[in-house]
Structure 1
Amino acid sequence: MTTLNNWNHKIQFEVADNKFKTPTQISDVQDIVKQASSQNQPVTVVGAMHSTTECMVGGGIVISMKKMARVLSVDEQNMTVTVQAGATLHEVCSHLKGLGLQLPVILEFGNFQIGAMSGTHANDTSMTRSAQFSSHVAGVKLVTPAGDIMEISEEQNTEYLPAVRSHFGMLGVVCEVTVRLFKTQPLHVGYQIAEVNSFLDGFASELETLKAANDQVFGMIFPNSGKLLWQCRKFVEPVKPNPHSLATWLDPIESKGISLFGDLFLPLLKAITADHPSAAITGLGNAMLVDLPLKIIQHSSYTIDPCNRGIIYHEDDPGFEFYDWVFPERNWVALVREFLELSKRFRQQHKFISPLPALIYFLKQDQASLLSRSRDGNAIAVDPLYPDPSNPTWKEFRGAFNEIAMRHGGIPHINKTRDGAIDCFAKACDQESLKRYLEIRKKFDPKNLFLNGFFKKMFAKYL
């Protein structure tokens, strides 16, 4: 048996060795899918399995694309790159960096595979353009559930492109992906610290200021201290490096090493939770984890090649869990106030304190994919994190947050919001777009071979 684990080892399933497939070319994928179809066997495609929901858990045939990981071509005239589905974000960025090119969306997690990113909610943050990776997908080469090859792009089978950008592994096997490119533009990064309540009180003007001054803004709310950290990013013109300057010597260190998770919060989290992974953080612990890093980071300012953001995370990194919801801009202040009250109530009644912040990122209105979480307008995320996913009080907190989130028009992340996604996504997203998506999905896969148990439950009322 082959045992598969998600990134934080909290979701695990076994696959018979003869049913775990690692194809090396498209014809292999066709053979696998045709045989599965003839035998009515379900098929699941897995990527890097960074998901913290069970969306990648499958029975029957399980296909890993890890051996189909080549960069196939770069079209500098049309500004696109075509890669095999198993290529990681880190590998593609490394290739493009040498050409002076970059992807439109580069997340911090370089382990992600492009095939999965091409049709999921994988996103960064942006004030100026779509922050969802899949929205910049110009085309895919797909092995359909019948085993045929279909090209879907801005030129061929265009009517299916919005659905493919939300494929979630349910439309067949994505084997190749073509993504738009930009010329490399350095990203200047700086930090601001504010009080949460002050920001909420002046939300309209504060938000306008952030949008006017930055191309990207990533935030962290610290419910225990009332602090708010903004990582402010702005694209700047390239400057030819001076090999004799101190800045040139420091840049590789900064661009590869300064990250909020990888180099400040994760090491501290490892130290604090080494012996007591669910311990409350108070006093000295809170000062170590929050106050000290904030004092250090608020004085940081550097310029980075965006291609260096795709960092490879290692298996010994703490297995924290995301809990990602996005909300319409107009509802965000009321939601955050309730979130802070919820955090306070759990501190007082359950002695439940998370050492990690809740993340904030911005999604512009985006109708490029049918299951986009910002189809109806600009959205802002609140994404609580917790270091010990098995803690029963964390599960209770998640359930309470679900209720608040739904009241404020929230939409959960299919790959990241455990329990919330499977129970809430279908009724929270745009209903007409969902109906259209499921119609296309059924057309592609009439036998439901690519519909695993997770999605059967998620869409139960609509199937």
Structure 2
Amino acid sequence: MPTLRNWNGDIRFDVSDSQLKTPTQISDVQDIVKQAFENNQQVTVVGAMHSTTECMVGRGVVISMKNMDQILSVDKENLTVTVQGGATLHQVCLHLRELGFQLPVILEFGNFQIGAMSGTHANDTSITRNAQFSSFVAGVKLVTPAGDIMEVSERLNTQYLSAVRSHFGMLGVVCEVTIRIFKTQPLHVNFQTVEVDWFLDHFSEGLKALKEANDQVFGMIFPNTGKLVWQCRKFGKLGGENSKQTPLAALLGPIESKGIDLFGSLFIPLMKSTTAIHLPPDAAELVNDALIDLPLKIIEHSSYIIDPCQRGIIYGKEDPGFEFYDWMIPENNWVDMVRSFLELTGRFRREHQFILTLPTVIYFLRQDQAALLSRSYTSNMIAVDPMYPNPSNPTWKLFRLAFNEIAMKHGGVPHINKTRDGAISHFAKAHDQESLKQYLEIRKKFDPKNLFINDFFKTMFSGYL
């Protein structure tokens, strides 16, 4: 009996050999779904299982799309690419790069499957355009819960497109996806380091400066040192002025392209080392501070160029070990939220000898209503996304639950795939109620037998179904 596990191994579930399906073509998917429909069996579709919530755990038939991974076509005139649902981000990036194109949103983790990304909260960071991958989905071909083939696009069944962009596996099996693409735009990357308190005190002017100068901004807060690092990214032209390399490019460029980025290649190994040697809290904090200061001195004032298609790298099974805890906060509430967050980390440091040894990630989502369950449906949002290298630590769970409470007080919206203990209890209440109602009505129309809604989503939408 196979045991399926999520990316960091903290969530596992067994599936019988007869119930784990790996179709190779749409007709196979139809046969599987029709049989499940006739037998009233629950159906769950899994991708790379990068989620740190139980949103991908299934009890009945489990469909893996890994054998439907072909890149079907690239329309150079209309700027779209069409792929099968199991194609990975890494595959698509490599293919498009050879043709001089790129996806609008390229995440660090190349294992992600496009079918899953087409209808979940997968996002990068952007302050000039939509940052959610699903917002650029131009169409899908899916097998409905009754086993029929349906196309939903900007031309066919358009009324369902915003729901499909939030399918989360609950509307059927997404077999093909058409995504908008751009001509290659190299990213010029540089860094700024500031004190967290200074930025919070000068938030309006600091945010304005970031938005005026950059296309993407990715941040890291180090709660124990009070440092805030901005990785600032701006699109350039091939062969343009921004393509000139600086002396540190030979070092930093390969780290960015072959690692997950500086965060994944530099900070995470250092922080994991701190945790692994089980130092007393006071000593661990001193070592942690030292390990942070050195990388910051290396990257400060540095810059380099990267092809965005190099960012979607493949992680090995042994690589991940940490857990995200992702909440989006309305832009207008973010300063108060971060102050509350820093107070929380200080309290846990004093009362529980608990230290966040990994940086807390910040990224941006512009207001975006392209998907009904978009986390920035009502306003511009900024993330507060703490991470921890040991998901099973009981004090980490206590911290998560306390974090939930302050995030809710500041109008936060959790990440369905990443906010364990938060999304299942808070997403439906936090989300825009009208778009949630519209989504659930469409979902019920697609799946009247509720075969494609697992226990996680039944609990998450409890009281709304």
- Give the shorter-chain TM-score range: over 0.9
CA positional deviation for 1:263: 1.4
Q: Deviations over 1:220-271 (max 9, x none)?
A: 1111110000000000111089999989977963552361233102221343
More deviation, 20-29/238-247: 238-247
Partners of 2:401 and 2:422 within 8 A in 1: yes
**3-state DSSP class of the match of 2:363?**
strand
> Which residue is equivalent to 2:202?
202
Q: For each residue in 1:195-215, what CA deviation from the matched residue of structure 2 results, as whole angstroms up to 9, or x when unmatched?
A: 000000010010000000000
The residue correspondences of 1:40-439 to structure 2 (distance < 5 A) are 40-239=40-239, 253=254, 255-257=256-258, 259-276=261-278, 282-439=284-441
**Structure 1 residues 246 and 377: CA distance shift in structure 2, 3 A:** closer
Structure 1 residues 327 and 249, CA gap change in structure 2 (3 angstroms):
closer
1:29 aligns with 2:25: no
Instruction: Report the Cα distance in structure 2 between the residues aligned to 1:79 and 1:356, rounded to whole angstroms.
Output: 39
Q: Relative to structure 1, is the Cα distance of residues 339 and 252 closer, same or farther in structure 2, using a 3 angstrom cutoff?
A: closer
Deviation at 1:314, TM superposition (A): 1.5
Could you give the per-residue CA deviations for residues 371-407 of structure 1, whole angstroms, max 9, x where no partner exists? 0011111100000001111111111111111110111
- Report Cα offsets for 1:98-140 as digits up to 9, x if no partner: 0000000001111111000000000010010000000000000
TM superposition score normalised by structure 2: 0.96
Alignment RMSD (CA, Å)? 2.0
Q: CA deviation at 1:153?
A: 0.2
1:60-80: CA deviation from partner (whole Å, max 9, x where unpaired): 100000000010000001000
Contact 1:324 / 1:413 at 8 angstroms: preserved in 2?
Answer: yes
**SS of residue in 2 equivalent to 1:451:** coil
Inter-partner Cα distance in structure 2 for 1:190 and 1:248? 11
Q: 1:250 to 1:29 in 2, by over 3 A?
A: same
SS of residue paired to 2:3 = strand
1:284 Cα offset (Å): 4.2
Residue type at the aligned position of 1:297: I
Number of equivalences: 463
Measured against aligned partners, the alpha-carbon deviations of 1:156-196 in whole angstroms (never above 9, x if no partner) come to 00000000000000000000000000000100000000000
Residues 279, 318 of structure 1: CA spacing in aligned structure 2 closer, same or farther, 3 A cutoff?
A: farther
Write the letter of the residue equivalent to 2:287. G
Matched letter for residue 343 of structure 1: T
Q: 1:129 to 1:165 in 2, by over 3 A?
A: same
Encode CA deviations 1:274-332: one digit per residue, 9 max, x unaligned: 34399776354213431111111214310000000101112222411100000111100
Distance 1:447 1:278 in 2: 54
**Structure 1 residues 247, 9: CA separation in 2 closer, same or farther (over 3 Å shift)?**
closer
Distance of aligned partners of 1:399 and 1:122 in 2 relative to their CA distance in 1, 3 Å threshold: same
Shift of 1:356: 0.5
The 1:378/1:27 distance shift into structure 2, 3 A limit, reads: same
Task: Tell me, in whole angstroms, the C-alpha distance in 2 between the residues paired with 1:220 and 1:251.
Answer: 17
Q: Match of 1:427, SS?
A: helix
Distance 2:253 2:327 in 1: 34
Determine helix, strand or coil for the equivalent of 1:16.
Answer: coil
Distance 1:432 1:225, change over 3 A: same
Q: Where does structure 1 lack aligned partners over 5 or more consecutive residues? A: none
Letter in 2 for 1:233: R
**SS across alignment from 2:179:** strand
Does structure 1 conserve the Cα–Cα contact (< 8 Å) formed by 2:268 and 2:358?
Answer: no
Q: Quote the sequence identity (%).
A: 71
Distance 1:244 1:120, change over 3 A: closer
- Answer whether contact 1:255 1:303 (CA < 8 A) is retained: no
> Is contact 1:119–1:166 with CA below 8 Å preserved after alignment?
yes
Instruction: Map Cα deviations across residues 88-107 of structure 1 (whole Å, 9 max, x no partner).
Output: 10110000000000000001
CA contact (8 A) 1:217 1:361 kept: yes
Q: Helix, strand or coil for the counterpart of 1:327?
A: strand
**8 Å Cα contact 1:270-1:318 kept in structure 2:** no
Distance in 1 of aligned mates of 2:158 and 2:238? 36
Moved more, 82-91 or 245-254: 245-254
Tell me, yes or no, if the aligned pair for 1:23 and 1:68 is still in contact at 8 Å.
yes
The verdict on how the C-alpha distance between 1:266 and 1:187 changes in structure 2, with shifts beyond 3 A counting, is same
For normalisation by structure 1, the TM-score amounts to: 0.96
Query: After the TM superposition, which of the residue ranges 444-453 and 265-274 deviates more from structure 2?
Result: 265-274
Distance of 1:244 and 1:445 partners within structure 2? 53
SS of residue matched to 1:282? helix
Aligned amino acid, residue 253 of structure 1 = P
SS in 2 for 1:461: coil
Of stretches 143-152 and 234-243 in structure 1, the one that deviates more from structure 2 is 234-243
* 1:447 aligned residue: 449
Change (3 A) 1:425 1:390: same
